[in-house]
Amino acid sequence: MAERGLAPDRSVLVHLYPDGPCTETGVLLSDGGRVYDFELTYDREKAGADRWANIAYWHDITDRWQEKPFRQEISDAFIWRPPVCCTILAADEATTA
């Protein structure tokens, strides 16, 4: 997730489920409100392989998540995602930039 510019502690994993012998499919909601559909691949036969999963694809589905099978879960994730924190310093920097 960090490679994609997302913070794990501020994102919501909507769902993740096995989708074949070496893949898992999921949906993630970022702290900025973007929705991503992704697939992880790894070799289940290798010890610790789940810690070294690769992202096989990563799609921004923000504009069309309402058409997806897990649309209710995604909608619920918007309610439960961690709040975005804004400090006074961050607000001051934004107005002076």
Domain boundaries, the chain: 2-96
pLDDT given for residue 83 in this prediction: 65
pLDDT given for residue 49 in this prediction: 66
Quote the CA–CA distance of 36 and 77 in Å, as a whole number.
Answer: 12
Per-residue pLDDT of the chain (97 residues; tens, 9 = 90+): 778 888 888 889 999 998 888 889 999 999 889 999 999 888 767 777 666 778 889 999 999 999 988 899 999 998 877 666 555 554 444 555 5
Q: Which two tokens stand for residue 67?
A: 């058409």
Residue 66: phi and psi, rounded to 5, are -65, -15
Cβ count within 10 A of residue 60: 12
Work out whether the CA dihedral 89, 91, 94, 96 comes out positive or negative.
negative
